[in-house]
Amino acid sequence: MRGSGRDDELDADAEFWGIDPALIQPEEAIGLWEIHAAALHAFLVVESQWRVVSLAQGGLMWVGLDYSGVRAGLRGAGLKLTPDQWSEMQMIETGALNALNRVRMQ
C-alpha cells in the first residue's frame, strides 16, 4: 500500500530522480545490485569534480563532471573502470545533473 512511511520516502525519491513511482516495487528498491557497485563507488569518489558556471541572472548551473579531475581522482584512489563501468558512471552523472539543475530551476 502506497502512502505511508517508507513508501512516502520511495515516492519522494522517485520524484526527485524523475522516476515514475509506479515503476518502483519496494521489494526491488532496497539496496544496490552488485554489478553497479563499482560505477557508484567511482562516482562517489569523484563527486566533487563538477564543472559549474555562474549564470548572468544569478545562481549556478551544473555542466557535468570535469573529466580531467575525474581521471586524477580515480587514479589517486587506485580505481580502473571498464568501458561499461564508465558508461554507468556517466548515467549516474546525468541523473545527478538533472536533479541538481532541476533544483536550480524551482
pLDDT tens digits, one per residue of 8-40: 777 888 888 777 877 766 555 457 788 889 999
* Residue 66 in grid coordinates: 570535469
Mean pLDDT in residue range 35-56: 93
pLDDT reading at 69 higher than 50: yes
Domain extent, residue 8, equals 1-31
Mean pLDDT in residue range 63-86: 96
What is 58-96 written as a DSSP string? SSEEEEEE-HHHHHHHHHHTT----HHHHHHHHHHHHHH
Q: Domain tally for the chain?
A: 2
Chain CA centroid to CA 90, Å: 9
Percent of the chain residues topping a pLDDT of 90: 54
My answer on whether 45 and 16 are in the same domain is: no
My answer on whether 58 and 75 are in the same domain is: yes
DSSP H helix total and E strand total for the chain: 4, 2
My answer on whether 48 and 94 are in the same domain is: yes
pLDDT reading at 71 higher than 90: yes
